[in-house]
Amino acid sequence: MEASSVKLPYICIAVLLALLGFGIAKFNLPVLAELEDPTDHKRTGHEKSVWRYRHLVLGALGIFAYVGAEVSIGSFMVNYVMLPSIAGLTAQSAARYVSLYWGGAMLGRFAGTAFLRRVPTGPAVGVAAILAGSLVTISILGTGPISMWSILMVGLCNSIMFPSIFSLGIAKLGRLTGEGSGIMIAAIVGGAIIPMLQGVLADRIGLQFAFVLPVVCYLYIMSYGFVGSRPRMTTA
């Protein structure tokens, strides 16, 4: 009965989004001459394939991993802090702490804007990923308040990742920037896939240890920030 009660709202949302997409498809959006090539069909060789830009492909995987890790943690937060070994809270009390996780991400994003003006974006992403992965690891290995607050603080580390990874991924694409941006946006699907995988993992090894999957995601994001984000194009 509870599941059935949300069917109609989601059907309405799906219909509205479909109509919105159809409407946008009918708009004649202007070509940005400095970014897009109105004679796209005339491009040849390496200029024709956006997939040859290694930092873009790796950046799309970074967005996939980041959104997946962020959504996984937020999705399982209530059940996690309800565990007797973590906080043993009721569902109503646990739900209040979820706002701290997402609120930390919001506040950190505002603060991160000023921070990124002084620090190179790639290393900043790498350091943020190290901190996030470390906090999740502490939560996995600990118990009680330490585990609860360490997982809540991950939101602060997440704050700068999306806009930073996105900008790194489309850097120096020139007239292919529009296509590259589309690929980066499509990678958001990680937010649907990785939480599902974490749920399967939780059924196998328990909810607390299933958070190892976000740790793996942050390890990849760390490598992208320090190494993979350097703009380059493959020669093959």
- Would residue 171 be called left, alpha or beta, if left means φ above 0 and alpha means ψ between -120 and 50 degrees? beta
Per the domain annotation, does 84 fall within a domain? yes
Q: Is residue 30 part of a domain?
A: no
What local confidence, expressed as pLDDT, does residue 96 receive? 87
Query: 188 and 63 in contact (C-beta within 8 Å)?
Result: yes
pLDDT of residue 163 exceeding 50, the answer is yes
Domain range for 172: 37-228
**Phi, psi (rounded to 5 degrees) for 176:** -95, 5
Query: Does residue 44 form part of some domain?
Result: yes
**Whole-angstrom Cα distance, residue 53 to residue 159?**
26
Q: For 142, phi and psi rounded to 5 degrees? A: -100, -170
Domain assignment present for residue 29? The answer is no
In a domain, 3, yes or no: no
Q: Can you give the pLDDT at residue 40?
A: 47
Q: Give Cα separations from 134 to 84, 112, 140, 213 (angstroms).
A: 22, 19, 10, 13
pLDDT of 209 strictly over 70: yes
In a domain, 15, yes or no: no
User: Between these two residues, 105 and 84, which has the higher pLDDT value?
Assistant: 84
**Distance between CA atoms of 51 and 17, rounded to whole angstroms?**
28
Q: Give the phi and the psi of residue 36 in degrees, each rounded to 5.
A: -115, 150
The CATH number for 200's domain is 1.20.1250.20
For 6-11, what is the mean pLDDT?
86
pLDDT band, very low/low/confident/very high, at 180 (cuts 50, 70, 90): very high
Residue 194 near residue 73, CB atoms below 8 Å: no
pLDDT digits (tens, 9 = 90+) for 96-139: 888 889 888 888 877 777 778 888 999 999 999 999 999 999 99
Q: Is residue 10 included in any domain, yes or no?
A: no
Tell me if 31 is assigned to some domain.
no
Q: How far apart are CA 97 and CA 186, in angstroms?
A: 30
How many domains does the chain contain in total? 1
pTM above threshold 0.95? no
